[in-house]
Amino acid sequence: MSGGTPKGKNSASRGRRLAEKARGPRREGRPVATVDDPHANIGVEARLVAGILLNAALEKRTGLDEALGQSPARDLPPADRAFARAVAMAALRRLGEIDQILDRRLAKAPPPPVRTILRIALAQTLVLETPAFAAVSTAVKLAERDAKTRPYKNLVNAVLRGIGREGPGKTSAEANLPDWLAARWKATYGEEGLAGLALATREEPATDLSARPGVDLAALAEAVEGQVLPGGTVRAARRGDVSTWPGFEAGDWWVQDAAAAIPARLLDVSVDQTVLDMCAAPGGKTLQLAATGAATVALDRSEARLKRLRQNFQRMNLDAEIVAVPAEDWEDERQFDAVLLDAPCTATGTYRRNPEVLRATRPADVAKLADVQHRLLDAAAERVKPGGRLVYCVCSLEREEGETQVIAFLRRHKDFRTVTAVPARVGAPDEALTAEGWLRVLPSQWADRGGVDGFFVACLERTGD
């Protein structure tokens, strides 16, 4: 848990490539960064945007994506915008450790804009392996640009140079977790479990692909420089715009984390069955269900979110009945052979891909969303035919949204029973299987393969007539 700040290989290599583009021309093997160099100025703008993106993410969960679509981020060249996002994401993943390093160097807390400049600089040097002189130079230039930060430019220079000269010192990955979440996860998963979850905050995840039936997985893995994981997910080592990757336009695959592919596999539908995806958007699991040939209904309350689902179905040349209505208000009386409920949740299990969730989630959100999940589970039960199956899942690490929900559901609905999951059949880590027969997938599992998103998944069967 300590001993400096280990760097994830994926984030570091990607950051180095983006940094090279942002730093501009080189002379005698060293990057040039002068005030008159337009490439240096672009580099400063990219780092300014990185700070804006970081703060937007800390303000609210959707802040980073919203800020990317607005000026000044949208005005940057694509390579510089990508670099800005990479820096902001690196800072989010290691925010606690970065602040540990800074707090040892600062006699008193600087104004927030100054701390942002320092955070952005350390994210570059400690995570993305940007040369220290380039990060320090642009940080000082950023401080000089604004009257509020200008008086602190010497402080910025001294702090960063001191860290570069003497090293960052020891840090703890647990610092990247909010205290309240760390306490909850320690109580739920134990000291060792918490340590694994904390270490996973440091890693930038790879891009996972789900392929439609008939696609040669080995060939796809070779094309995206990756590997085939248990269950059939292809984990790509390739980076960049996925729409340019082999097989995208042909509809051979879609992007979906390996853990997110487990629930639809566990539902195990066949071509002659009917299936309902109750909270379908953005549609990865719905694509899995429709690709089996089953008659699929995709239900979601948000027409805007269903837009992406429709686009993916068109690209994949698949078909489903798509309905924009809240699941609890759907007046259709049909029952189905299989129902998938991927319920709204705190999404704390997705922090590898969305590190902002750790800062945006509040304790009250857990109870609020647990109430929504309770109601949706009862609505889902009414949609399952006798002898049919219901898979309930959330990408949350909180017991109230997972295990506790299913325990309470089974008490309310005596005509349902657990169908014990077999991890190997659905591409789940072996250690994910719980004593009850459910799956509790943690981001710390499959560490040797690059980890997975956190999920809770349970398969329930309706008994009787």
Catalytic residue numbers, as ranges: 395
Per residue, what are the HEC states of the chain? CCCCCCCCHHHHHHHHHHHHHHHCCEECCEECCCCCCHHHHHHHHHHHHHHHHHHHHHHCCCHHHHHHCCCCHHHCCHHHHHHHHHHHHHHHHCHHHHHHHHHHHCCCCCCHHHHHHHHHHHHHHHHCCCCHHHHHHHHHHHHHHCCCCHHHHHHHHHHHHHHHHHCCCCCCHHHHCCHHHHHHHHHHHHHHHHHHHHHHCCCCCCEEEEECCCCCHHHHHHHCCCEECCCCCEEECCCCCHHHCCCCCCCCEEECCCHHHHHHHHHCCCCCCEEEECCCCCCHHHHHHHHCCCEEEEEECCHHHHHHHHHHHHHHCCCCEEEECCHHHCCCCCCEEEEEEECCCCCHHHCCCCCHHHHHCCHHHHHHHHHHHHHHHHHHHHCEEEEEEEEEEECCCCHHHCHHHHHHHHHHCCCEEECCCCHHHHCCCHHHECCCCCEEECCCCCHHHCCCCCEEEEEEEECCC
Q: Alpha-carbon distance 231 to 209, whole Å?
A: 12
Which tokens in the block code for residue 258?
Answer: 């390996």
Contact call for residues 343 and 279 (beta carbons, < 8 A): yes
Cα separation of 447 and 449, whole Å? Answer: 5
Residue 4 identity: G
Strand partners, 214: none
Task: Provide φ and ψ at 6, rounded to 5°.
Answer: -55, 145
* Interatomic CA distance for residues 342 and 388, integer angstroms: 17
